[in-house]
Structure 1
């Protein structure tokens, strides 16, 4: 089966947007699951070593067809009503990114009531300026758009994590895989969330993004990233990996007989006391972690409040 040209250009748009976010702006880029209607990725603002949960939601479109309707010093982008409704009610500021395959440039525009224009037929259009390149010139306006009161930023993060909370509440086992480049001072690495189907295979990956923690340890940083869940090492992974380490360090062979200098429980006791820890190291460069999420009191309470805010009956007030 041949790949459609439109699919190739769409993939290029995602790739070039990622490069612009990571290389031009120095921020973090997170792919989003396909279940997030109308949002392809998130960009997280980074200033030096400061990562405070300031996020933008990105809708990315690639191809010459998106540049077929010229507007005043740019191009008109025409979203459907369902997308407009979704974007204007989204918990994050939404940015439309158009990628041109010939110029290899990404152009952007914020989606809000000021930038959206209602047409005479009841539809909507959005002017994407040619001057809005996704490069260092976009840092200030996009950073300003992502700013917010710390309270609002925390609520946004909980809202974005709601699908994972709901999966945990429904009995799905979710695992967090992290890779930390231990010889890099930036604290950069990768993190992914996946489903443990308890079939002996690796988790089914749901989403992966780059992680940036600066001098903070990964064990401390991951607890803040998943404030709505308790984290512990994934028992099945660590049992197997640590027994292999134990055997390599503590076993002695006398011809065909194998002896151990101490019991596995004694050898492992100190490691367990350290809490979150890597289960292996790859070539002295990358520490690998696999943790399991368990919904905590904050996560459970948020689901109750969010359900009420979304579906609950209107409350009586004094003026009713």
Structure 2
């Protein structure tokens, strides 16, 4: 009996992938050796010793033959139509891993609607970049992927925001209070969502987050966090504000800016949300998807 060289390379590829997942990423690796339906293993995210129940499905291919077709900045991988259908309908995010025996590296690419390219002949291909080595540098990207497909994540974010959209539909005023520690390089701050009941009291709190945005601008990040709404200054808060005592330059202020910084440490904002086109449309889509009806007035 003779062992085929391809079998040896395939075994080495799985072993190298396991080593990359366990030693490079610090995650769990579980081979799926019983049936070949296009998934060879699962990788489970471990975050600060916490097993988080977030998994990736891996299709592992080994050998120099998978690196013959050069693309711009990587190699073209051409899956068959059955595998593409299986992967894109899989309950887990799927990544292709190619093991290069000469380089002794594993390279990866996620399989989703953004990476798959349909060919003119009706087939499929995706580019596996030569910069995407399966090691510690891949941890952040693969951890985000394990949370879910980008399309699914965006829909999930809208679903989570559904009660707030309904509040706006019902005529409530939603405001965002921001406290930004301007002298901290971590970008530390708090973002609080609340209801302005227009009774002269502080907003009724709905949710609050502690954030660390680094050098990112709050006025750029916050509208992205509430993609279903227009973000503007809360008129009543800003109408009577005096900026003479503000301790920093204000030449670069845009449409969104703080209304005070009494200590020179913390910028305070109060912003108001109103539904944009996405926010007006999603409750209709969601109602149809959940109840089969579209009888909702926005």
TM-score by length of 1: 0.47
* Equivalence for 2:9: 9
Give 1:56 deviation, angstroms.
0.2
Give 1:49 deviation, angstroms.
1.9
Give 1:52 deviation, angstroms.
1.5
* Cα distance in 2 between the residues matched to 1:133 and 1:31: 20
Give 1:316 deviation, angstroms.
9.4
CA contact (8 A) 2:92 2:148 kept: no
Secondary structure of 1:54's aligned partner? strand
Aligned residues between the structures? 158
* Cα distance in 2 between the residues matched to 1:103 and 1:36: 26
* Equivalence for 1:126: 126
* Equivalence for 2:71: 71
Give 1:318 deviation, angstroms.
4.8
CA contact (8 A) 1:34 1:40 kept: no
1:37 aligns with 2:37: yes
Give 1:130 deviation, angstroms.
0.2
* Equivalence for 1:81: 81
CA contact (8 A) 1:29 1:42 kept: yes
* Cα distance in 2 between the residues matched to 1:52 and 1:23: 18
Give 1:36 deviation, angstroms.
5.2
* Equivalence for 2:27: 27
Q: Which runs of 5+ in 2 are unaligned?
A: 154-289
Give 1:148 deviation, angstroms.
5.0
* Equivalence for 2:109: 109
Give 1:47 deviation, angstroms.
1.1
Secondary structure of 2:134's aligned partner? coil
Give 1:33 deviation, angstroms.
3.7
Structure with the larger RCO, 1 or 2 (CA within 8 Å, 6+ apart): 1
RMSD: 2.5
* Cα distance in 1 between the residues matched to 2:49 and 2:77: 36
* Equivalence for 1:138: 138
* Cα distance in 1 between the residues matched to 2:22 and 2:114: 28
Q: 1:49 to 1:127 in 2, by over 3 A?
A: same
* Cα distance in 2 between the residues matched to 1:317 and 1:96: 37
Q: Which has the larger radius of gyration?
A: 2
CA contact (8 A) 2:107 2:129 kept: yes
* Cα distance in 2 between the residues matched to 1:2 and 1:130: 34
Listed as ranges, the matches of 1:132-281 within 5 Å are 132-148=132-148
* Cα distance in 2 between the residues matched to 1:23 and 1:74: 24
The one-character-per-residue Cα deviations of 1:96-137 (angstroms, maximum 9, x if unpaired) are 000011110000000000000000000000100000000111
Give 1:82 deviation, angstroms.
0.2
Higher helix share: 1
* Cα distance in 2 between the residues matched to 1:104 and 1:316: 53
* Cα distance in 1 between the residues matched to 2:148 and 2:126: 24
Give 1:317 deviation, angstroms.
4.1
* Cα distance in 2 between the residues matched to 1:317 and 1:26: 44
* Cα distance in 2 between the residues matched to 1:52 and 1:93: 15
Q: 1:54 to 1:36 in 2, by over 3 A?
A: farther
The one-character-per-residue Cα deviations of 1:250-293 (angstroms, maximum 9, x if unpaired) are xxxxxxxxxxxxxxxxxxxxxxxxxxxxxxxxxxxxxxxxxxxx
The one-character-per-residue Cα deviations of 1:183-208 (angstroms, maximum 9, x if unpaired) are xxxxxxxxxxxxxxxxxxxxxxxxxx
* Cα distance in 2 between the residues matched to 1:101 and 1:140: 25
Q: Which runs of 5+ in 1 are unaligned?
A: 154-314
Give 1:35 deviation, angstroms.
2.5
TM-score by length of 2: 0.50
* Equivalence for 1:94: 94
Give 1:75 deviation, angstroms.
0.1
- Deviation >6 Å, runs of 4+: none
Give 1:20 deviation, angstroms.
0.3
* Equivalence for 2:58: 58
